[in-house]
Amino acid sequence: MLLSAFCKIAQAKRLSVYVLLISTLFVGVYILENTVGANSMLMMVLKKGAIYALVAVAMNLLNGFTGLFSLGQSGFMLIGANIYAIFTIETGNRAQVYQYYGGGIIQFTLPTLVSIILGGLVAAFFAFLIGLPVLRLKSDYLAIATLGFAEIIRAIFQYDGLGPITNGSNLLRKFVVFETALFPFAVAGACILLIALMIHSTYGRAFKAIRDDEIAAEAMGINLFRHKQMSFVISSFFAGIGGALLAMYQTTVQAKAFTAAMTYEILLIVVIGGMGSISGSILASFLFVAASEWWLRFLDNVTVIGTFKVPLMRSGFRMVVFSVIIMAVVLFYRQGIMGDKELSLHRLGARFTRKKGGADHG
């Protein structure tokens, strides 16, 4: 009894520390935005990093925690992004945006948050439908089927016949975007929190059991198909929300941008961060976005020091170096940066005070 009371106090204390950390983070982002400017490279990276963090954590729920190797992420993001954009373009601007389709057939707007959630719901609905056949497939076959689905979705959204709704292969623009980086941080943060709670619930434990051993999980009475379906639908819901945020970040949306390459970027983040680590995915997405869009940017410019022209540096060289870095990371961190561990205050504290045993007695 005494022990459990003590645990409760420790838990409450830990919770307050986390609340403090999160509020510090938000205040930090706010101050940063007002000092370095909302359109500085740093802020752009932070915003995109937060959005990618959400999408990566959603993918990790499916690939890392449930063990389902799906490559449909960009398809679900596309659905979220497009649905969001379609429903938030102001009626006055529709004639201009849908100029080839006579202003489109949708002549109303929904509130921003409602549209974001709607984007997630539509993505989740599609996940439910395609899950019925494809979740009976295993490993490589599931990957191929979901990859194919993403391509089909991209084709459908570019289809001319649906133009009055989707604007075909033309840009969707003039929809509501966020003014401050606090918005993607708040939405992505809340979603990641929900996913984390899910993973720590009995459902999350069942997902991990399925990942570890399907036969044993089934023998324990876990309904394999229902849990896979649940994980797939939830993951796609949050991918859709991530897509909506990405649309806001980009200020324009075009279906053809959501290629398999985008899925691979996110898969890369999940693998580098660690399959089965939420904090790993978050950490890796900020590092990935910063490295690919900012820190290595200088490699793309022809550089002349005095009269010496630095060799190799030209447009495209950035991606070469980036690929080498990724190979090095994967070689030295086989399990990704975090493995399947989580970054926790407890663990960090143990490291700093040089105490052994970071086991979480929860």
Partner 1 sequence: MSLLTVTDLQVSYGGIEALKGISFTVEKGHIVTLIGANGAGKSTTLRAISGLVPIKAGGITFDGREITSLMTSSIVKEGIVMVPEGRRVFPNLTVLENLRIGAYLRHDPAEINATIEYVYERFPRLKERHWQLAGTLSGGEQQMLAVGRALMARPRLIMMDEPSLGLAPLVVKDIFQIIQRLREEGITILLIEQNANAALHAADYGYVLETGRITMEDTGSALLNNQKIRDAYLGQARKRRTETV
- Contact set with partner 1 (CB under 8 A): 202, 205-206, 208-209, 211-213, 215-223, 276, 340, 359-361
Smallest separation, CB 202 to partner 1 (Å): 7
CB nearer to partner 1: pick between 16 and 223: 223
Smallest separation, CB 272 to partner 1 (Å): 19
Burial 182-208 (b: 16+ CB within 10 A, else e): bbbbebbbebbeebbebbeeebbebbb
CB nearer to partner 1: pick between 89 and 206: 206
Collapsed DSSP state (helix, strand, coil) of residue 32: helix
User: Other C-beta atoms within 10 Å of 268: how many?
Assistant: 18
The two three-digit tokens of residue 13, written as one number: 């204390």
CB nearer to partner 1: pick between 31 and 132: 132
Closest C-alpha to 78, from 239, 267, 281, 266 = 239
Smallest separation, CB 168 to partner 1 (Å): 46
CB nearer to partner 1: pick between 103 and 339: 339
CB nearer to partner 1: pick between 160 and 212: 212
CA-based end-to-end distance of the chain: 15
Bridge pairing between strands 304-305 and 308-309: antiparallel
Q: List Cα–Cα distances, 227 to 30, 127, 211, 216, 235, in angstroms.
A: 39, 13, 11, 14, 12
CB nearer to partner 1: pick between 110 and 196: 196
Smallest separation, CB 360 to partner 1 (Å): 7
Smallest separation, CB 209 to partner 1 (Å): 5
Smallest separation, CB 330 to partner 1 (Å): 20
CB nearer to partner 1: pick between 6 and 225: 225
Q: Which amino acid is it at 227?
A: H
Smallest separation, CB 241 to partner 1 (Å): 28
Smallest separation, CB 235 to partner 1 (Å): 19
Q: Which amino acid is it at 159?
A: Y
Environment class of 344 (CB within 10 Å of its CB; exposed 0-12, middle 13-18, buried 19+): middle
User: Other C-beta atoms within 10 Å of 28: how many?
Assistant: 11
CB nearer to partner 1: pick between 160 and 213: 213
Closest C-alpha to 119, from 149, 169, 157 = 157
Strands (E), the chain: 304-305, 308-309
Task: Determine contact, residues 42/283, Cβ cutoff 8 Å.
Answer: no
Q: What are the two backbone dihedrals, phi and then psi, of residue 30, each rounded to the nearest 5 degrees?
A: -60, -50
Smallest separation, CB 128 to partner 1 (Å): 21
Q: Cα Rg for the chain, rounded, in angstroms? A: 22
CB nearer to partner 1: pick between 221 and 306: 221
